[in-house]
Structure formats: structure tokens, C-alpha cells
Structure 1
Amino acid sequence: MAPIKTNLAVLDKYEAFYTGGRIQVSSDGCFMFCGYGQKVKVMDLQTGKIKCAIGQEDEEITSFCINPDDQSLVVATQNLLLRKWNWKEEVLVRSWKAIHSTPVMCMEFDPTSTLLATGGSDSLVKLWDSVQQYCTHNLRGHTGVVRLVRFHPDIKRLQLISAGDDYTVRVWNLQTSVCAAVIREHYSLVKDLCFANNGDTMYSCGGDKVVCVWDMTKLVVVKTLPVFESSEGVMLLENLPVLDSSDAGDHFVSVGSAGALRVVNTNTGICAHSDTSLCEDRGSEDEEGNPIIVQAFHCKALDKIVVVTYDHNIIFLNTDFTLHRQFSGYLEEVLDIGILGKDGSHLVVISNSSKVKVYSRLTMECQILSGHTDTVMAVNTYPKKNLFATASKDNRVRVWRMDPDTFHVSCVAVGDGHAKAVNTVAFSRLSAKFLVSGGEDQTLKVWKVPAEVKNDSDQLVSLHSSATHWAHEDDINYVAIAPNDQYLASASKDKTAKLWSLPDLSLKGVVRGHKRGVWCVQFSPTDRCFVTSSADGTINVWNLTDFSCLQTFEGHDSSVLKVMYISNGRQLISSDSEGLLKMWTLKTNTCEKTFQAHEKKAWALTVHPTEELIFSGAADSTLITWKDTTEEDVDEAREKEEQMILQEQKLSNYIEEKKFLKAIGLAIILDQPFRVLKIIKAILKTPDGFQDLKATLCKLKPNQIGALLRYSSEWNTNSRHCHCAQAVVNIMLQGFTAEELLAFPDFTASLEALIPYTDRHYQRLNRLQQQATFADYTRQHMKTA
């Protein structure tokens, strides 16, 4: 039987790391740099984890750049400062004013990491010597925001290319600080530039649906080739697998804003190959009319094409345009989580989007699944068959399957029948023969699931409803199926939860008692009861036989959004709209512990089948993995107890052997002031007690002396122990200089605590001396009378 859990610890935390702007990959291909508001987050591409976050509070970052040797990161902020960071050590190296009158919008290092070029929204281009730390060039010519700066790869030519909102491309001679050429061949914003290997040819692309080919020796455009789509990136790739031997000549790759990748022959302008897999199920633009692709470039270290989408997804493509890996830069509002794969290798994350995201727990690579046409609300998994079902506001439920070998996920079935948004869905627990859904139409539906489903998107199975029932008077928030597949429980905004028999959906009972809507319902894995959580902040456990309330848990100060059984049905874990997690024990009806998990509503909560891990997600765009540390805590406590016993025995042996110096040192380590006091009293009882104590205390280490002074201030508050305290203080004041005393830890605080009680003891002893003198005087007079 699983032990009662007493503690959870954060094992991993996956946060949003990209909210917009241009990204960069280090020259060795190991790290990716992404803008996230006031920070630049650095991701380790091997593990998918955030290595560090560079930036300072209250400074919005407008642009950043990593130098070619991967040692320095320069960021430009909204308050017109440039900051140079050693990002590996997270140390700010230098800050200086950008001199631009408006924010810096782009920047680039030269190949030697010596010069840094910055382009501002004030139409200026400036160059900085990063070694000597001064501005070397101030280039004027553009009449709009400078959007792009790029050094010629041959540093001997000392050329800088810039492009701006005035649709011009300018080539600057850095020896003379003169604009060597102004090209007006583009009729829209220039988005990207790339050079041929020898640097004599340059390609430029933009929103005017053409790619210009430049002769960089004559500084003229020699060809203008149509690509029939606004282009976000142009690149030159060697030995493209998509080309055959008949495709002779030079080729370039254009990445369109709508997601199409085209390989174009430079000599003929003919498109030799086109790939539109990125724009499948996406359309040409998003709902607001923005382009799908916002950035594309070739990472030479990895030999991958990196594509950034408008919805903050970062895609790595092979040179044959097949998907290599994908990351989701922004989780949005996490609504639900499901566990999938062998040993829970993958997480299905439902965020405030029509897309379904499937993460690999090992690398946090992400598959983004399209199919639903409106926000997906819930997910429920059946790991034995690698199946999961999703419910959406598009009034549909979909069944998905993950291939156990390739981990590729595809939709295998769809159910259409609800009149309004579907809020919840649940698989049968024993064999995945059916699933149940409920939503805003207040209706429950039972769907039959085919026995065999295959990963073939061309053969979607239509699910048929075997039972439909109008169940509640308000939206249905949650449904759960009993472990034996005999019963169904539904939770609704109408403040009730209902029990139904399966598969006919006949009503068995209604539970009432919550004062507000019921968010969640779960069956106990062992007992004939079920639990509900409500917006009134309470959790109730109900009897399945007579529908009476067995227990009520009060402790949340806000809506309890999710509740789950753990520890084989002996405990509960719940999440609320304040982002808190609470762990409850049914037997004692108490809250074991509260965990500050999230900053906003913790909608999502699920438990790994082994219960070693618990996953939570919230509206703060974070996904947290919790580890059960109960056994580790017990082992640690046992180890500490054993160590304490050994130390106690060792201390007793020191005292018995009259090794007082070692005894005092060990007692201080164990933080036992009373034992130290007993040792000091034992020393003072020896024939030369004070001198022995002085010899012993002078050998203590500074931190031990500081602790002893702190103990003395405590002993001094009691008249029975004040003599020992005063003896210690006397030795300290006589044995050390004022400078040495002030160097001891907390000496000033200990001395201040000693003064008032020392004054009180002095007054008491003074009165006692006066009384003793008066008694002696009286006795002498009585003898002479």
C-alpha cells in the first residue's frame, strides 16, 4: 500500500520563453536566444530547458545580439541603453548610452566580434568598437526606421548593409563613412539578406514578393526574381536533397510569410521545388490578418532551417524541408493536461488555443496538432492504447492516436453532434470502447469508439452517439467515469453533481449542497464514493449508495478548480483559482500541506499512474512537474536523527574525558546552549576554574565565539546562570582587542542584549551587599550591648 504523501517538491518548471521579436541561435548550435518581455531567455537546445534569463527589471528589451564567438550578449532597452552581458556567467559587463534619440530596433556584430552596428527608429546607423568601447561611425541616410543591419562577410571590404522603412537598401563604406550605394529595387520592407560563399553575390527579399540578386563588386542589382509571396527569409543551402541532377545551376530558398518554402533557380528564376507543409491547416494568414511566418534563417552549425511563426512556435526543418523538431515559445493559458506514452513520456497540453500541443517530457519538443476550429477546452487520455480525446468550442470531440514507435500523433476520429461548445470529455476506463462528453448545451453524449484505429488522416472515422441525455440546467463542467465503467458522474454550473448509469445514461441520483457551481468530480479508485470541488471553495465526498455527504474539506479561499484522488484513494490533491495546490488526508480530514504553485488560476492538474509525479498548469503560462518527496524526507529525517544520536554520544564522551574544548565546539555545532552552559559550569568548578575556562575559550574559532556570546546574552536573562554568562563576557573583553571583538559574528547585537540585564544584576547584587552590611552592623551592635 502506498504511503501517505506529506510533501511535494518542484522537479521541473516549463515556462513561456518567447513572446516576440527575432531569435538567434549560438554559432555552436547549442543555445537559442529568445526575447521575452524584459528578458532574453537562453534555451539549451539539447534538453529544452531554460539555462538563464538575461535582463533587468523595468527595462523593456527592443533588440539583442549574440557575438560570433558566443561569449557576449548585447541588449538594447527602451530607455536607450546598451548593456553587454557575459551570459554564461549571467554577469553584466558594461552599460552605455546608445546615443540614438529613439529605441534601437536592430543590431549585428561583425565576423571578428569587434564592431557592433545598431539601427534605430531615429533613422540612424551607429557602429561601436566593443573592445575600445566608443562609437566609431554615425551613418545618416535612411528616412525611416532602420530594420536590418548586416556586415559583409569579408571583413577586409569594410562594408555594412542596412535596410529601413523607406524601402531602400544602403551599402556603407566604413573606411570613409560614406554611403557607397542606394538601391531602390524593392517596393516594400526588406526582411532578410544573405551572401554567397565568396561574398560577391547578395540576395535580398521582402514584402514585395521578389528576391533581388546583387553584384557586390559593382553594387548593383543584376536580377529581380519573383517568388509570388511576401518573403520573410532567403538563404543559400548546399546539396539540397529536394533537387535532382537535372536541376543545374545555383539555387536559393525563399520562405514565404504564408508558410511556403520555394527553391528557385537563380539563373532561370524557375521554382524547382515547393513545400507547403507549414501552411497546411493554417490558411495564408492568422485571424487578425498577420502573416504566419515572422522569421526564417539557416543555422549553419545544425544545418537546419529555423522558422518562427506568429503564434510563437519555433520550428527546425531539415534541408529536405521535413520537420526535425519544434518548440512552443508561449503556452498561453493552460486549461488541461493529459499523460500519454510509455511511462508517461509525453504530455498533452491544452492551452487557450484551437491547437493541441504534445510535449516530450525529455526534451520538451512539441507537436502542434491542428483540427479543431475553435478553442480546445479539455483532454482525456487512454495511455494503454496511446489514445486521447479532446473537446472544443467548435461543438466537436476528436480522438487522436500517437504512434508508439515514431511518437507521431494524428487525428483518427471526430464526433459532431453537440449544439454548443463541448467543455469536457472522458474515456471509458477499462477498454476505451466509448467516451462521454458534455458542454454548454447541458447535454451528455456517449460516443462509440472503433476497436481499431490507425494513424491515417485520410480516413477519419465519424463517431456516432449511442446515447444522448439533457442532463443539467446549466453548463456541464466535468464528467468522470467510474473505474468499472458502470457509472458516470457529471458536474455542472447549476450547483449539482449527478450520477448516471452507463451506457444508457439513466439517472441514479443527484447530490446537492454546494452553494456555487461544481467544477470537478472524480470517483474513488477503491471506495464507493466520489468527490466534488466547487466555486464555493469547498470539497465534498459523497456516498454512492445514499448520496449523503461523508466529508467536507474547507481551506481554499477561492474556487476549487480541480481535485484528484491520490495514495490509492486515501488522499486528495486540489488546485484553486489563486494558483494554490493543497494536499488532503481523508482519514484525518486535514490539509497536509499547501503549495504555492502558480500566480494565476490553476486549471490543470493530473497525476502520473505511478503517483511519483504530479503535473499542474495554470493561466500564468507555466507547466510544473511535482515530485513526491515523502520517502526522501523520511530518509533524510532518519539520517539526521541517527547523526544526532552519534553526535550526542560523541559529546558525552568528550565531557566524560574532560575534553572541554572539543565538547564546547561540538555543542555549538549541535546548537545546544544548555549543554554549553553545563560544560562551562563544570569547568568553573575545577580548582583553577576561571583560568581553565579562559584558556579554553581563547582557542575557539571566531564563529564559535560569536555563537557563545549569543548564548551568553540568553543565559544572562536568568539570575541562576548570569554568573557563567558574566564570566564568559569577562574573558572575551579581556582576551581580545576591540577590533577583534567587532569582527565576531553578531557581537554588537549580543552586547546590546547583555547590557540591560547586566545592569539589573549589578543593582541586585549592590542591594544584597548593602543588606549584608546592615545585618553585620546590627550583629556587631548586639554583641557590644
Structure 2
Amino acid sequence: MVARHIRQLQATAKIETVHTGGNVAWMGNGSTIFTTCSNVVKAVDISGCLSSETIGDPEEELRITSIGLSTDSTRLYVAYNNQTIKEVVIEEGEKTSYKTGKIWKSMHEAPILIMQHCSTTPYLATGSADNTVKVWDMAHQQCSHFFRGDSVVSAICFVGFEFLLVGYISGTVRFLPTFKNDRQSSEFIRTNPPCFSQITSILQIPNSKSALIVSRDNTASIFKTSSMKTFKTIPLFEAVESAAFAKNGNLITVGEEGTIKEWKIEGAKLIRSKKISEVGLSSITFNAAREEYLITSEDHNLFILNAATFGTEREIVGMHHEVYSCCFAGPSDSHLVVASNTPSLLLYDTATLDCKLAQGHSESILTVAKANFDPCLVASGSKDNTVIVWRLMERDKWCLEPIAKASGHTASVNSLRLSHSAANSHLLSLSSDCTIKLWSLKLLPTKEQIEKNKFKDLISLTASSTLVAHGKDANCLDLAISDKAAISGGMDKLVKLWRVDASSGHLLIGGTLSGHRRGIVDVAFSAHNQKAASASVDLTVKVWDTLEQTCLFTLTGHTCAVFQVLFVATGKQVMSADSSGILRLWSLENGECEMSLEAHEDKIWSVAPNSVRNEFATAGGDGKMVIWKDVTEEKIEEENRKRRKQVEQEQTLHNLLEQNRFQDALDYALELARPACAYKVIDKLIENAELQKALSKLERNKLQMLLDFATQWNTNSKSSQASQEVLFNILLFMPPDEILKLPNARSFVEAFIPYTKRQELK
């Protein structure tokens, strides 16, 4: 355990919203995915540990309606809901930069829904909800073609550089001339209505002048530009939302079933399929450099699949909504288990930030907890009134597998705790039905049984004890390290103490603590002394003596409801978090706040420590999760290192002065960029009448620095004389015109004048 006080926390990882819907783009080298995130674009780096960079202004009021990437991945085009298009120039290097290029008004009368860049020419096609398509000549910065259709544009495809195929939500497809024989006609050559529902994808068949048209009417049609006719229809047996060609020329589709499918076009044969998501899939993109597919789902998640095996390489949760609870789990806290406003439990790898979804609940999950005696054992409570116990298993990748289920609560399960010891292992649950239940975990299957497939069905847990805990919603729960006492809090403003006898399966009331003026949202035991803490909507945290059942401290300072509390630094400090996103650290020696940190932009619902309590995961209403590390020791060591270095530098300077090496001493002081050291040297130079000689040998950059220092000295009557001597001696060997050529020369001259006049008056 960490014994010293925590003085400073530093964010080491952040998981945030990266995709809120809309189309995505993938750089040709496969390193970065561009996603739409409301009013900004997120550049998600998938080459290593998942990280993202924001392109655009988060304060921008306009919303993004579409993005498109040039085929050489050097330009990103972003369309906004005022029909403006912004070009972003991508410059790759040690760190990829994104610079705003051209911005122009598209003159579409409705939002731009799709953008497609031609692979062989500098042309960009934009399709809008106003039924029109415009082709932009980016080399000459002008609109070269304009076409109007019969409904909203839903798909665009360049066929070579001669033709443009446009699909509409009505199911029609337009075959449009663009660059053949430099024709500028905006008339349609042919209308081809092969479908009866929205066109979702149009793809040029590799090494041909034909195109594949995919629709929501469960079919795909092959269209030949030579005859301008559809000559083959392929049944897909699903409303397909997006399609791509595999490296081998086969067709890959995704749609409403949440399954990826590979088809042999000749013979319309389904070769293989794999279930990816419980909800429909929205889009698919193939990246030849990585030989992987990028798939997006209707719930805004992103999946990266190996093209050869359909194996999931990475899962990225695009949007978390509100995150209600989280906890570290796995060997050496290798994973973070997250409960959010969805029925899926999220499992994050803390090293790579890869995510794996676990299905089991039917409604949003409100709370998660880990067993201290087995870090791979996790429990979750949900709005579906149930508790599920999971085991973290290492298959091809780490995943959560449900092993037991507890039913019996008649309302949402708000809080859980698992026993600290494996002896008489048990689980406590607290619900909005105002009851607390005790469940035995003795019959849980072991890891070996699960690995050998000796365990098949979920074990049904039975509550050995049920008591009414609170008069109103019961919100929070904690279990003492001895496993013999529990504490709970509710909206009835009371903190309840409980005696737990896991061997007999009994719960008994142990006491009631009162004093809060409003409901209690979180409670915590100290693992090192007989103390407990409670956090309340009344803006306070109270620290209690559980033996005497009295209040030791009332910690005030939060300006909003306090939602989280826990003991840190072996019980010497309390950490609390409130509904405005502020994280605070309090000393229990004097009840004073020692640190305040703006951790989130919205309420903090969860603060979870790792096993040694030197890292903390926070999560909240802004959909973000942040892992904070206690860097107090590193900061102290850094300060000590700086102090030692300063002492060494001062000693070196002192030695140079003692040896009368004034020129070397001045150079050294200026290299250190420390005005106080330079002043000492200047004082010695004046005393030995060597100032002018020393100044004349200085390099221009050091002379500039010395003049900056002299400007500071001139503001103080004690050091102003030295400042005047410096300026006077510089003027003896350097003409004023030369001085004015120095950077910021005018500013320091202007700064010299008023203080010089003031010193003269004195």
C-alpha cells in the first residue's frame, strides 16, 4: 500500500467518445481512422495504443454531415450542416499534422450526405439531401458539373474518370457523363431502375468498366457501362447497408443482421459469414495495406477484422453516453471493466485500450465490482433487476464470460460488493427496491472447469438473507476488509451499518449514522482503521468512527453534490468527486482539502482504485474514462533533482568567480538563463572594471538575454544601477541602430525609460 500522502495526480490514459455516427475514412497506410464526432473529426491512431486527435474546434456550433478522404490520403474533406466544405491538409511525419486548407460554400440547398474522391483525377463529388450531385475540380477550385436527381443521394461511385454512378434513396441509379470528351453536359444519359429500395453502395468491379449496385431490397446488380444495362442480379437475402470488394475479388457485405458475409459473385454463392454485433452494421471499408476490414455498427462501435480469418483485431466503442461504474480487474490490473448506459459490459485492456464487449444483461448496467481474492472475478448489477457474475478468461483474447446469475430484486441493482476473502465467499447487493441481499458464491465454477468446458449453464444464485435497508432508494454499499461488516447509504439521508455472517448466511443491522441533510450517494470503509466515509447530495463528505458511531469530520468545499468517496494513502486521506467533475483530496489529520482537480466536464459517477491504490480510474456523465496515476514520488524526486542541479550550478559559478574567470562566469550564467546568477557576475565585473570588455565578447543571443535581464533589474532600486551600467557599456561598443536590430529591442528600450526616470527622481 502507498503510505505517503498523495499530492499530485497525472492523467496517463483517456478513453473518450470518438464516433457519434456518420461515415468514416481510413488512411491508405492503415495507421489512422477518421471518424465523425458531432462538430469535430477524430483522427484515431490504431498503429499502437489507441489514441485520438481532434480536428476542428470543439466549440464550433455547426455539425458535420459528411467526411471524405482523397485517394492519396493527403486531403480530408469535411462538410458541415451549413453546406460549407472544409479541406484539411494531412502532413505525415514524426507527428502527423492537420492544417486547414481551402474552405468554400458548396451552394447545395440541403446537407451534404456523401463525398467521393476520384482515384485518377483531382475531382471530388458531393451528394446532397437536395437531390443534387456536384463535381468539384479541386485543381482549378471550381464546380465543373451539376446533376439533379429524383430523391436524396445515397451513394456515389466514379467509374474510371469518364462516368459517375449515383444512387438515390428511391432505388434509382443515374449514369452520368463527367469527363469523357471534356463534355460539360448536365443531362442524364440513362436512368436505370434496378432496385426497389435505397441504394446503399455502388462499387466499381476491379479491372473492369462494370459496377456493382447494392440495395436494401436484398439484392446486388451488376451494371455494364459499355451497354449501360444491368445484366445480372445477385440475391443477398438481407437488407445490405454497405459492401466492399475483398483482395480476391469476392464481395463482402454487412447489414441489418450484424453479420459480415463473403460472396462469390459468379454463382451468387455465400462462402462464409460471421456474427459481429447484436445490432445492425452500417458500413465496411477494406484497407489493402493492413489487409483488414473496418466495420461500423448502428450503435456507433467500430470493429477491425482480419480479412483472411474474419477474426476481430480491435473493437472500439465509439460513444459511451454516460459511464456509471468501472473497476480494475485481471492479473496486475490489466483490464478495466466498465458499465455504461447500454446492456453491454465493456472490457478495456489498460495497456492498448482495446475493448471487448460482453453480452448478458437486457438493460443498462449500473454497477460493477471485483473480488479482491480473485481479480478475474467480476459482478455487475443492472436496471433489469439482476446480478451477473463474470470470469475474465484468456481465450484468443481476454474476454468476460458469464458464470452465474442472481435474480430476486424487484428494481434496479444500484451497488455490489464481493467478499475480500475466498473463505465463505459471498456477494452483497443493494437495490432501488430498498433491500440489501446476501448471496453465497461457494458453488461458482473454477477457472479449470470453465477451460475444460465442464461448465455449461449459468448457475442460479440464491439469496441467503434479505433485509429492508432504507426507507427510500438505496444507492451505495461497501464491505469491510474483514468481510464481517457492511455499510450502506440511501436517499433517506441515513448511513446504515450491517453485521455480515457469511458462514451462516445472515445479515443483521449494526447501527445507524445520521447527520446528512440530503440523500447519500456513496459510502466507503477504510481498510486500515475503524473509519468510514459517506458522500451526499448536501455537498459534504462525512468521516465516521464506526465503533463509536460518531462523526469525526465534515469535509466541506464541494460546490455540487458529492457522488464518490474512498480512502487512500492507508486511510490518511479521503478522495471525493462531485457532479461538476471536480476531484478532491482531503487530509484526515486536519480535514483540509489538499488537492482539487478538474477531472471531467460533467458529473463523476465512479472513482475506482487499482489494487495498490496508486492509480485511479474516473468515469462520468461526459462519456469519458480517465486513468490517473499518483506521481507524487516522481514529482518529489524531480524537484530534488532540480535542487541538486541548482546547487551544483551555483557551486560551479562560485568557483569561476573565485578564480577571477569573469568572462567564463558570465557565459555560464547566461547559458543557465538565471537572472540572479548573471547579476552576481555583473556585480563582480563592475567591481573589477571589466564589464565593457566582457560584454563586447558576448554572442548576440546572449547579449539579447542580458538586456532582458537588465530590464528586470531596472525595476528594482537595489539592482537598477547594475542595469544602467550594462546598457551604458553596451552603447560604448554597439551603435544604437545595431541595438535596435536585436529581437524585441524596442520593447526593452520602452521598458527601460519609465523606471530610469523614476530612479532619477529618487
TM-score (norm. length: structure 2): 0.89
Which of residues 381, 389, 395 is equivalent to 2:379? 389
Partner of residue 167, structure 1 = 171
How far 1:489 moved relative to its partner? 0.8
How far 1:437 moved relative to its partner? 0.6
Q: Is structure 2 residue 197 aligned with structure 1 residue 188?
A: yes
Query: Identity percentage over the alignment?
Result: 28
Partner of residue 769, structure 1 = none
How far 1:232 moved relative to its partner? 0.6
Partner of residue 138, structure 1 = 145
Q: Is structure 2 residue 135 aligned with structure 1 residue 127?
A: yes
How far 1:657 moved relative to its partner? 2.2
How far 1:263 moved relative to its partner? 5.1
Partner of residue 758, structure 1 = 756
- Are 2:347 and 2:399, in contact at CA under 8 Å, matched by a contact in 1? no
Q: Is structure 2 residue 434 aligned with structure 1 residue 442?
A: yes
How far 1:734 moved relative to its partner? 4.6
Which of residues 414, 417, 431 is equivalent to 2:408? 417
- Are 2:260 and 2:273, in contact at CA under 8 Å, matched by a contact in 1? yes
How far 1:233 moved relative to its partner? 2.0
Which residues of structure 2 form unaligned runs of 5+?
Answer: 91-95
Query: Which residue type is aligned with residue 317 of structure 2?
Result: S
Partner of residue 770, structure 1 = none
- Are 1:38 and 1:60, in contact at CA under 8 Å, matched by a contact in 2? yes
Query: Which residue type is aligned with residue 632 of structure 2?
Result: T
How far 1:446 moved relative to its partner? 0.7
Partner of residue 633, structure 2 = 631
Segment drifting more, 505-514 vs 163-172 = 163-172
Per-residue CA shift, 1:342-370, capped at 9, x if unaligned? 11111111112222111122322222222
Distance of 2:703 and 2:485 partners within structure 1: 70
How far 1:117 moved relative to its partner? 2.0
Partner of residue 315, structure 1 = 303
How far 1:95 moved relative to its partner? 3.2
Q: Is structure 2 residue 288 aligned with structure 1 residue 295?
A: no
Distance of 2:624 and 2:419 partners within structure 1: 29
- Are 1:204 and 1:234, in contact at CA under 8 Å, matched by a contact in 2? no
| Aligned CA distance change for structure 1 residues 720 and 310 (closer, same or farther; 3 Å) | closer
Distance of 1:622 and 1:679 partners within structure 2: 53
Which of residues 571, 595, 607 is equivalent to 2:597? 595
Query: Which residue type is aligned with residue 444 of structure 1?
Result: I
- Are 1:203 and 1:234, in contact at CA under 8 Å, matched by a contact in 2? no
Distance of 2:719 and 2:270 partners within structure 1: 95
Which of residues 57, 67, 70 is equivalent to 1:67? 70
Matches within 5 A, 1:568-607: 568-607=570-609
Q: Is structure 2 residue 156 aligned with structure 1 residue 149?
A: yes
Matches within 5 A, 1:608-627: 608-627=610-629
Which of residues 524, 538, 541 is equivalent to 1:522? 524
| Aligned CA distance change for structure 1 residues 545 and 51 (closer, same or farther; 3 Å) | closer
Partner of residue 243, structure 2 = 234
Distance of 2:77 and 2:375 partners within structure 1: 49
Q: Is structure 2 residue 100 aligned with structure 1 residue 92?
A: yes
| Aligned CA distance change for structure 1 residues 726 and 271 (closer, same or farther; 3 Å) | closer
- Are 1:702 and 1:745, in contact at CA under 8 Å, matched by a contact in 2? no
Distance of 1:80 and 1:251 partners within structure 2: 36
Which of residues 308, 311, 316 is equivalent to 1:327? 316
Partner of residue 83, structure 2 = 80
Matches within 5 A, 1:691-706: 692-702=690-700, 704-706=702-704
Partner of residue 452, structure 1 = 445
Which residues of structure 1 form unaligned runs of 5+?
Answer: 240-249, 283-291, 765-785
- Are 1:124 and 1:138, in contact at CA under 8 Å, matched by a contact in 2? no
Distance of 1:180 and 1:745 partners within structure 2: 66
Distance of 1:617 and 1:594 partners within structure 2: 17
Distance of 1:441 and 1:103 partners within structure 2: 48
How far 1:34 moved relative to its partner? 0.8
How far 1:391 moved relative to its partner? 0.9
Q: Is structure 2 residue 736 aligned with structure 1 residue 729?
A: no
Matches within 5 A, 1:633-652: 633-652=635-654
Distance of 2:419 and 2:215 partners within structure 1: 53
Distance of 1:254 and 1:677 partners within structure 2: 74
Report the 3-state secondary structure (helix = DSSP H, G, I; strand = E; otherwise coil) of the residue aligned with 1:418: coil
Partner of residue 767, structure 1 = none
Distance of 1:546 and 1:414 partners within structure 2: 38
Distance of 1:197 and 1:66 partners within structure 2: 20
Per-residue CA shift, 1:481-521, capped at 9, x if unaligned? 11111111111122221110113221111111222222211
How far 1:666 moved relative to its partner? 3.8
Per-residue CA shift, 1:24-44, capped at 9, x if unaligned? 222232221111122221212
Per-residue CA shift, 1:59-93, capped at 9, x if unaligned? 43222222222222222233433333232321223
How far 1:647 moved relative to its partner? 0.9
Query: Which residue type is aligned with residue 130 of structure 2?
Result: D
Q: CA RMSD in A?
A: 2.8
How far 1:458 moved relative to its partner? 5.0
- Are 1:332 and 1:620, in contact at CA under 8 Å, matched by a contact in 2? yes
- Are 2:156 and 2:202, in contact at CA under 8 Å, matched by a contact in 1? no
Query: Which residue type is aligned with residue 91 of structure 1?
Result: K
Which of residues 466, 488, 491 is equivalent to 1:490? 488
Q: Per chain length, whose mean CA-contact separation is higher, i.e. which structure has more relative contact order (CA < 8 Å, sep 6+)?
A: 2
Partner of residue 27, structure 2 = 26
Distance of 1:726 and 1:28 partners within structure 2: 61
TM-score (norm. length: structure 1): 0.87
Q: Is structure 2 residue 37 aligned with structure 1 residue 39?
A: no
Distance of 2:36 and 2:342 partners within structure 1: 21
How far 1:372 moved relative to its partner? 1.6
Which of residues 326, 343, 367 is equivalent to 1:378? 367
- Are 2:381 and 2:414, in contact at CA under 8 Å, matched by a contact in 1? yes
Segment drifting more, 224-233 vs 428-437 = 224-233
Query: Which residue type is aligned with residue 542 of structure 1?
Result: W
Distance of 2:305 and 2:721 partners within structure 1: 79
Query: Which residue type is aligned with residue 332 of structure 1?
Result: H
Which protein has the larger Cα radius of gyration, Structure 1 or Structure 2? 1
How far 1:429 moved relative to its partner? 1.1
Per-residue CA shift, 1:319-340, capped at 9, x if unaligned? 5555443211111111111111
Query: Which residue type is aligned with residue 344 of structure 1?
Result: D
Segment drifting more, 262-271 vs 74-83 = 262-271
Report the 3-state secondary structure (helix = DSSP H, G, I; strand = E; otherwise coil) of the residue aligned with 2:155: strand
Matches within 5 A, 1:769-784: none
Q: Is structure 2 residue 352 aligned with structure 1 residue 363?
A: yes
